Amino acid sequence: MASNSILCTSSYLNLRLFVCFICFISRCCSYGELGPYNSFTVSSFSYPPTTVGPSGFRYIRVELPPWFSSMSVAMISDVHRATGDIAKVPKSTLPLICFRDGSPPLPDVNSSLMDSVLVPHSNGSFKGIEALQSSEQCYPMQKNFTVKLTNEQISPGVWYFGLFNGIGPTRTQSKMINRAPAYSFSANITVEGCTTLTMWGPDCNQTINPLSCALSDSYSPADNSSEAGFYNQTIEYVISCKNNFDTSCHRDGEPKFYSLDVVGVSQELKIVAIDVWLNETSSNKTKNASGINLICFARHGAIPSETVNDYSSNINKSPIVIHFPKVGRWYITILPVNLSKELGGSSDTDMKVCYSMESKLLECPVGKAGANCTREMYNLQTALRKGSGYFESYYLPVSEKVSPDSANFPLDSLLTNSSLHGEPDETWTYFILDIPRGAAGGNIHIRLASDAKINYEVYARFGGLPSLTSWDYYFANKTSSSVGSMFFNLYNSSENKVDFYILYIREGTWGFGLRHLNITSGVSKFQTTMSISLERCPRRCSSHGRCDTSLDVSGLTTYSYCSCDRDHGGFDCSIELVSHHGHVWQSIFLIASNAAAALPAFWALRQKALAEWIIFTSSGIASGIYHACDVGTWCPLGFGVLQFMDFWLSFMAVVSTFVYLGTLDEGLKRAVHTAVAILTALMAYTKATRPANIILVMAIGTVALLIGWLVELSTK
């Protein structure tokens, strides 16, 4: 098991130093030591050597707190493969390490995307690291794999590492014998953090100014909206967030950083600068700065920059308006640019720009969302399935219009009435649900069914409400959806049925939006039902396998996966690898081929070698039953028992033939048979399928034959 250590915040600094001093004396300090720039070790995990077998995989979960500064990953494996040889290795046997934010990686869901997730890695550097925030990336496993990710590259939260020994549809296929090589790895994962919550950056040397928020009595969006009057009537309250200091001043090119927490689903986040002016300390004058460039960058989860940001604008001229901001911490960077132009090219280094920065968070009344807070929004409550597995449940709207006795709920009584607003193309109904902690290895299943054509588009988004311009997954029709996405899988959808999965869904808040199409004021006589459920394996492994559940290495997350039969593969066992016709012929040849044992058995019977006759006959019968079980025809005993009997009797048949050919007396033959039976039983029980066993059995038989000849020669 992994060993870890977690430190407290800076308010417990003195206590931590005292504890470390005491532990240092006894040489057992498990707390992290203070490093440069006021950083400390938040957690440190050490994973012992672990073997990943052929087609096997393991997951590791790592939690990064909001104050983390960097994460270091160091892995050592016994993979010996040069970088130039990777292109020659089949993906079904290529060892990989994959990263994903929020839920376990699944690199072989879509066969057309397997090449896009595979990124070259060399000399400890990542290529395409920016893509980690929006998808997953996989890298060929090396003997020494080391990488350091900072809070400027990735966001806080839960991250997953997946180690795979080959990818592709055959990874989940059951195999009688798999001789692909295994590899082992050991890992050390260390998370560093800043001792002060207001510090940020890889070295904890950047000051973050948290904004203080309070309810605002009034709000006027007239400066940036034509619907100011309507907003005042529909918005329940506005949260205004400001810096602790009313005015901020800084020089040209000197950035300042701010943070803001969005704790619930919100309608809009607006960032604006007011009272902007220039301050020349050398001349003790102030000047109007209406033309100054005050560039603002906003980013969810990490500090933004000029190259990496979610939103940007010159807030001295127009504010940043973020519709449906994600739940969590937002970071804001304000950077004055070209201040000297305001003074006609002056080179005054003491010149500063001063301003008051304000952020306003608009909240809709309970049960309302969308444009002008006129759309219906429902919170979904969890209903556990009876007799279900880990986290299996379905979700129902919290409404008197929905019966709690069924997993399906009617949509007609819940939809937003478009006739009241005159905007049929922009009529939405929203649903909010929470994926519990530890359920990231499950899958969200969404279904719509109707007696007529379905006139809805479905949009899903993590952390906030979706829109036409901001979504993670969507389904409009069979030709327009997120089918190209790695974690979106569409099944059997038609004009009156929608059926899709979001695979390995992230923990946290999810927003779903139904966009109404061709809405009329009249009530439809056809009813549309919807269901949203959290399931273990998609489509119950398509009835071609079993759904297994396991824990990640840290033991904090359960994940489910399909173990397919001999003929199918893929993450949901929906890919036919062996056709039914081919399966029949394969079964016939595998089982019937064991009739060849009748020939040596008949010869042994004619020679009155009864012991050899029993071995040959038993070997043929055991092998036939074993292969019948392997192809799914008949299994009178457990698969492991049948495999042991098949290999052991086969080994005994080979050695017995050599012993019989040797001219030994009966007493010596019985002694050799007994010794060989013990030795071959151990070989069949430990590693029956290893190729070296064939050489060992032939060697044992040859030695027995030579001993017999030597005894015969010495007698004569």
CATH code at position 462? 2.60.120
| Token output for 272 | 């604006």
Q: What is the pLDDT of residues 299-319, one digit of tens each?
A: 998 888 888 899 999 998 899
Long-range pairs, 593-597, Cβ under 8 A, ≥24: 594/620, 594/621, 594/623, 594/624, 594/627, 595/620, 595/624, 596/620, 597/621, 597/623, 597/653
Q: Would you say 305 and 333 are in contact if contact means Cβ atoms under 8 Å apart? A: yes
* Total tally of structural domains belonging to the chain: 4
Do both 494 and 621 map to the same domain?
A: no
Whether 143 maps to a domain, the answer reads yes
> What is the bridge-based pairing of β-strands 256-262 and 328-337?
antiparallel
The pLDDT value given to residue 695: 76
**How high is the pLDDT of residue 716?**
63
Same domain, 246 and 144: no
- Determine, yes or no, domain membership for 543: no
Rama region for 608: left / alpha / beta (φ>0; ψ in -120 to 50; rest): left
In this prediction, residue 433 carries a pLDDT of 94
Tell me, yes or no, whether 186 and 260 share the same domain.
no
CA proximity to 17, closest of 41, 34, 4, 35: 34
Which residues form the domain of 181?
39-200
Residue 213 within any structural domain of the chain: no
Q: Does some domain include residue 429?
A: yes
Which segments in the chain show pLDDT lower than 50?
Answer: 1-36, 122-131, 220-233, 284, 422, 521-522
Assigned domain for 542 exists:
no
Same domain as 355, residue 393: no
How far apart are alpha carbons 108 and 226 in whole angstroms? 48
**How far apart, in Å, are the Cα atoms of 372 and each of 225, 376, 546, 637?**
11, 11, 48, 67
Shared domain check, 258 and 163? no
pTM of the model: 0.78
Alpha carbon distance 151, 637 (integer Å): 55
**Residue 268 shares a structural domain with residue 181:** no
State the Cα angle at 289 between 283 and 291, rounded to 5°. 135
Amino acid type, 382:
T
User: Residue 636 domain-assigned?
Assistant: yes
Predicted confidence at residue 206, as pLDDT, reads 86
The answer to whether 17 and 170 are in contact (CB under 8 A) is no
191 and 53 within one domain: yes
Domain end call among 143, 171, 200: 200
Pairing of strands 212-216, 237-242: antiparallel
| DSSP-assigned beta bridge partners for residue 60 | 161
| Residue 150 counted as domain residue | yes
558 within domain boundaries:
no
CATH of the domain at 64: 2.60.120.380
Cα(198)–Cα(210) distance, rounded to whole angstroms? 7
- What's the pLDDT score for residue 217? 61
- Say how far apart CA 691 and CA 467 lie, in whole Å: 58
pLDDT digits (tens, 9 = 90+) for 440-497: 889 999 999 998 888 899 999 999 999 998 999 999 988 889 887 888 999 888 889 9
- Asked if 635 and 676 count as a contact pair (C-beta separation under 8 A), the reply is no
* One domain for residues 357 and 486: no
**Antiparallel, parallel or unpaired: β 68-77 and 125-126:** unpaired
Identify whether residues 355 and 382 lie together within a single domain: no
pLDDT in tens, 337-351: 876 665 555 556 677
Does residue 609 share a domain with residue 505?
Answer: no
- On whether both 603 and 700 belong to a single domain, the answer is yes
Q: Please check whether residues 479 and 608 belong to one and the same domain.
A: no
Q: How many residues does the chain have?
A: 716
